Amino acid sequence: MGFAALFAHGLVYAIIMLGIFRLRKHLGLGVLFCLIGSMHFLETYLAATFFIDLPFGLISPGSTVMFAGKLSLFLLLYIKEDAEVMRQPVYGLLAGNVLMLILGAILRLHSNTVEMPGYNPDLIFVDQMGFLMMWGTILLFIDAIMLIIIYERLGGFISRTLFGRIFVSLALVLSFDQVFFYLGLHYLAGVPQAAFYGGWIAKIGVAAFFTAALAFYLRVCEPSVVGTPTRQIADVFDRLTYRHRYENLMRQVGKDPLTGLRDRGLFEQLGPTIFASSVRDATPMSAIMIDIDRFKSINDNYGHIVGDRVIQNVAQTISNTIRDDDYLFRYGGEEFALICNKGAVEALALAERIRAAVIADHVLEGGAAVSISAGISTRTVCDTDFTTVLSRADAALYQAKARGRNCVEGL
């Protein structure tokens, strides 16, 4: 009967939890988190007081079935959502446990409670459960981090074996948790040593059960997880903090949203820095200003959607033509700026290659070709700042346009 009870316990837990998880897009993750929180007290209470005597030791459904199920659910949250979502219920449980201890301590200040005919308040029991729940949640936080690390590390070895990857992750983390949670149980509740060995064996078996449940769910209910690229370990820790949000924001700063190139703001920051470096190291530096010819007529005749596509395509052509150590920016509208560590002759040759590549690659509907004009300026020993070089390149661009466009001019 003991094995049957544990199996029924795990089956009902898996069906309900995975069912709520499946409906998370309709019900919201808050429902799932409340369900996890409502089970936390029962899980801890059973872990300290309710044991089944099996041939290999004492087994508590709280510390085996319910805790292993919760940890499996957290891994599923990580796989299908991310570690930010995964950590939310952990933080919520930790905060709830702290609040439970604080409120219990406050109630101790009032010693004259009214005697009731049924149960009377047992604040010692509340304290014990509070500390045990706190200890379990601290371990859960460590378990969650370990679970992510192990799961991702295993992705490099057994990424194609979903069952093996999940099972090994759960088995290792549950083994770690069993050691330290048992110490807390033994200290607070005097749980015998038979519960340690029995609990560990049962957790490995339950890990296999929940692994099968998760693998079935991921392959049948939400199969898109198969083939998902392995996340980097550094990214895991970034997600467990808010650092990745900051870095995502920083990646967007200085980037033109239409072309993905560096924007004018970054051009104005980097230009003087590159100029100063060129002066210090006595290396050549040239600025090339590039403008798409007759762009207003493209917008007027073909529409702004086509105009945007032309800007994107020209930006891609220029990017494909230059070297990795050249700096390309979208200066504004249909205009681009290029800074390169080349002398006047090399910069002129580069600008000509760009011009030829653009007119060869881009033809509008009706046969009209897209062309660019370019103005070049190379730093001289007389230049005192980047603005001087940029002004000459801009003037050279206007000369190129005055010559009839689709040409390159240098000053």
Contact 408, 351 (CB under 8 A): yes
Q: What token pair was written down for 248?
A: 């995502």
Mapping DSSP to helix (H, G, I), strand (E, B) and coil, where does residue 206 land? helix
Provide the pLDDT for residue 228: 45
- The rounded distance, in Å, linking the Cα atoms of 173 and 13 is 20
Question: Average pLDDT, stretch 128-138?
Answer: 84
Type of residue found at 115: E
219 with 325, same domain?
Answer: no
Confidence of residue 158 (pLDDT cuts 50, 70, 90): low
Q: Does 116 reside within a domain?
A: no
* Rounded average pLDDT over 281-290: 94
Helix (H) or strand (E) holding 409: strand 408-410
Beta bridge partners of 374: 290, 408
Q: Looking at the structure, do residues 333 and 352 belong to the same domain, yes or no? A: yes
Sole residue written with tokens 């988190």: 33
| Beta bridge mates, 378 | 286
The pLDDT value given to residue 350: 94
- 244 has a pLDDT exceeding 70: no
pLDDT of residue 227: 42
Alpha-carbon Rg for the chain in angstroms: 33
Does any domain span residue 238?
yes
Q: Which of the listed residues 246, 274, 295 is the one where a domain comes to its end? A: 246
Q: What's the rounded mean pLDDT across residues 244-265?
A: 72
Model confidence at 177: pLDDT above 80: yes
Residue 148 backbone dihedrals phi, psi, to 5 degrees:
-65, -45
319: CATH: 3.30.70.270
What is the bridge-based pairing of β-strands 372-378 and 327-332?
A: unpaired
- The residue-averaged pLDDT of 132-139 equals 87
358 and 220 in one domain?
A: no
SS3 (DSSP) at 410: strand
Do 196 and 299 have their domain in common? no
In 3D space, the residue among 131, 83, 84 whose CA is nearest the CA of residue 104 turns out to be 131
Mark whether 322 and 362 lie in a shared domain.
Answer: yes
User: Both 305 and 183 in a single domain?
Assistant: no
Number of domains in the chain: 2
pLDDT of residue 88: 87
> Is the pLDDT score of 219 beyond 80?
yes
pLDDT > 70? residue 241: no
User: If you ran DSSP here, which 8-state letter would residue 52 be given?
Assistant: E
Query: Is the model's pLDDT at 276 over the cut of 80?
Result: yes
- The sign of the torsion formed by the CA atoms of 12, 17, 20, 21 equals negative
pTM, full prediction? 0.57
Q: Between 157 and 115, where is the model more confident?
A: 115
Band of residue 157 on the pLDDT scale cut at 50, 70, 90: low
Structure tokens at 220: 């049948």
**Structure confidence at residue 321 as a pLDDT band (50, 70, 90):** very high
Residues 72 and 144 in one domain: yes
Q: Is the pLDDT of residue 225 over 50?
A: no
Query: Does 233 share its domain with 329?
Result: no
pLDDT category at 331 given cuts 50, 70, 90 is very high
CA distance 354 to 362: 12
Output the six-digit token pair for 66: 């319910």
Grade residue 80 by pLDDT with cuts at 50, 70 and 90: confident
Domain check: are 325 and 379 in the same one? yes
242, 290: one domain: no
What is the mean pLDDT of the segment spanning 121-139? 80
The H-or-E segment that residue 303 falls in is none
Is 340 a domain residue?
yes
Q: Which of 216, 246, 276 is the endpoint of a domain? A: 246
Task: Give the containing element (helix H, strand E) for 121.
Answer: none
**Which range of residues forms the domain containing residue 376?**
253-410
**Is residue 114 domain-resident?**
no
Question: What's the whole-number mean pLDDT along residues 20-33?
Answer: 88
CA distances from 410 to 284, 316, 342, 373, 379 (A): 15, 23, 13, 11, 12
Query: Are the CB atoms for 152 and 231 separated by under 8 Å?
Result: yes
Contacting residues for 377 by C-beta, under 8 A, at least 6 apart: 286, 287, 389, 390, 391, 392, 393, 396, 410, 411
Same domain, 211 and 273: no
| Residue 204 resides in a domain | yes
Is pLDDT of 246 > 70?
Answer: no
Residue 366 lies in a domain: yes
Q: Is residue 16 part of a domain?
A: yes
For 333-377, how does the pLDDT look when each residue is reduced to its tens digit (9 = 90+)? 999 999 999 999 999 999 999 999 999 888 787 777 899 999 999
Q: Based on the domain organization, do 210 and 272 belong to the same domain?
A: no
Answer whether residue 397 shows pLDDT above 70: yes
What is the rounded average pLDDT of the residues 180-206?
A: 85
In a domain, 115, yes or no: no
Which of 215, 246, 277 is where one domain is finished? 246
**DSSP helix/strand/coil, 59:** strand
102 or 250, which is more confident = 102
